[in-house]
């Protein structure tokens, strides 16, 4: 499955039609959520009265099919205008609620990993992102490749050519499964979910291994010696965003306590600020895609770290810079692009001391503060940039993995203790590789290697 996303150039009438479809999805969502909560409260109240379980009010199914059946029975009274929009609009809202309820149940029962998920809440007309998803009906790309056709919306003009998607459709190597229209950053986009028949590919250098150490000073430091600059798009746009934020604060905005609606000037100022943030996100996304595509097409094996990005964001001095770099997005893109290009992605253990280990002799330091930007080995005397040293250690880990298979691979087992390893240096001639015997010396005390001790 692959997604193709294009911007739309809509007429005022088409934009009003899209807002109507997104509003219909919100209405169906809120109605179904109110019904679910009413049934839950009623059954809970009846239990307090001592009503047996077999005599309780019948429960409402939380599946998409059950919610859709209940909606079809009540839509004539609840939404007498239901025939003016596509049925896919109501299906979009009901499907979103079914997914939210499923995630809530899975989170409470422990079947769903990640952060706890709360019970779904009602969607607001002013705060909800307008979106509608089409899964049936006429969904196609026009022969001119500058227009698409969607059910009940008709022919919509694209902002850019859809030639890449059209070529696959014409060759029979792709099939459109669904189309989602969404308003993001003041602009409407259409995203096609496509089932693709992908040809087998091989990287340009199948046997090449590259270690990627991501950071803030440099977006990525490669084991090949290449330094990828961090463009810092958010920092570059900070002055403009401050000015737009001050202009927004001077307008009459909404007030939920008094029910005051925002002024037109406030809405225009909020739209300008939203477009500025959307531009930063687009620039960041474009740069990360170019970097990850190049790495996966050139190298057969890519080695990265399993970083605790959530824990690193707890550092208030680096949180904004870490979020601007997009560490998690780099790994996510590398995961599927290595599969597309016939390579493999190796993920080092989260507690592997890549920055503390000497890439020359293998000695491990007990501590390495963030302020030390150069790694100096006390055993062999190697002096090297700490990020370059970490990337070399990551690349060396590829020899410990099985060469078969592709995609993310579980890393070697490492615990939270950093054990000091000292290299017994042997006298050598200048210009030769240091040799010696490596031994493990138990540390004098416990040293915890946190994610924040790594320099980024």
What amino acid positions are annotated as catalytic residues? 213, 305, 387
Closest CA to 24 of 120, 99, 91, 97: 91
270 with 257: CB under 8 angstroms? Answer: no
The Cα 213–Cα 195 span in angstroms is: 33
For residue 413, CA distances in Å to 141, 416, 448 come to 49, 10, 16
The CA radius of gyration of the chain, in Å to the nearest whole number, is 28
Closest CA to 221 of 370, 330, 297: 330
Alpha-carbon 366 to chain mean position = 34
Closest CA to 354 of 327, 380, 400, 391: 391
Place of tokens 């993001």: 184
Closest CA to 130 of 189, 53, 210, 65: 189
The Cα 426–Cα 429 span in angstroms is: 10
Backbone angles phi, psi at 301, to 5 degrees: -130, 130
Closest CA to 439 of 425, 429, 449, 455: 425
35 with 27: CB under 8 angstroms? Answer: no
């Amino acid at each position: 499955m692959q997604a193709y996303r294009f911007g739309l150039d809509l007429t005022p009438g088409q934009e009003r039609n899209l807002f109507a479809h997104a509003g219909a999805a919100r209405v169906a969502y809120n109605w179904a959520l109110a019904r679910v909560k009413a049934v839950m409260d009623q059954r809970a109240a009846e239990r307090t009265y001592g009503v047996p379980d077999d005599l309780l009010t019948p429960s409402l199914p939380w599946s998409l099919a059950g919610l859709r059946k209940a909606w079809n029975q009540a839509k004539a009274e609840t939404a007498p205008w239901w025939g003016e929009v596509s049925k896919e609009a109501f299906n979009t809202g009901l499907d979103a609620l079914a997914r939210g309820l499923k995630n809530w149940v899975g989170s409470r029962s422990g079947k769903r990993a990640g952060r706890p998920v709360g019970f779904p809440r009602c969607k607001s007309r002013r705060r909800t992102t307008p979106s509608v998803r089409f899964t049936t009906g006429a969904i196609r790309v026009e022969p001119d490749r500058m227009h698409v056709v969607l059910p009940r919306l008709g022919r919509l003009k694209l902002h850019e050519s859809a030639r890449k998607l059209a070529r696959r459709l014409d060759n029979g190597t792709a099939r459109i499964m669904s189309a989602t229209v969404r308003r993001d950053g003041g602009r409407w986009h259409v995203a096609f979910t496509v089932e693709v028949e992908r040809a087998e590919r091989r990287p340009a250098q199948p046997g090449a291994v590259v270690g990627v150490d991501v950071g803030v000073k440099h977006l990525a430091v490669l084991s090949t010696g290449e330094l990828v600059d961090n463009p810092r798009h958010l920092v570059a746009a900070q002055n403009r965003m401050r000015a737009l934020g001050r202009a927004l604060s001077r307008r009459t905005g909404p007030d939920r306590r008094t029910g005051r609606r925002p002024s037109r000037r406030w809405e225009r100022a909020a739209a300008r600020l939203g477009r500025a943030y959307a531009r930063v996100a687009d620039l960041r996304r474009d740069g990360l895609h170019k970097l990850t595509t190049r790495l996966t097409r050139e190298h057969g094996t890519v080695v990265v770290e399993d970083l605790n990005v959530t824990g690193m964001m707890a550092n208030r001095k680096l949180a904004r810079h870490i979020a601007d770099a997009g560490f998690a997005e780099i790994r996510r893109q590398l995961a599927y692009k290595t599969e597309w290009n016939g390579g493999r992605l190796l993920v080092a253990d989260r507690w592997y001391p890549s920055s503390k280990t000497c890439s020359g002799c293998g000695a491990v330091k007990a501590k390495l503060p963030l302020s030390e930007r150069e790694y100096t080995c006390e055993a062999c005397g190697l002096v090297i940039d700490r990020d370059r040293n970490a990337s070399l250690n990551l690349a060396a880990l590829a020899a410990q993995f099985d060469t078969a298979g592709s995609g993310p691979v579980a890393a070697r087992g490492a615990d939270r203790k950093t054990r000091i390893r000292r290299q017994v240096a042997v006298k050598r001639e200048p210009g030769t590789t240091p040799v010696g015997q490596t031994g493990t010396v138990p540390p004098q005390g416990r040293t915890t290697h946190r994610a924040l001790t790594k320099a980024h």
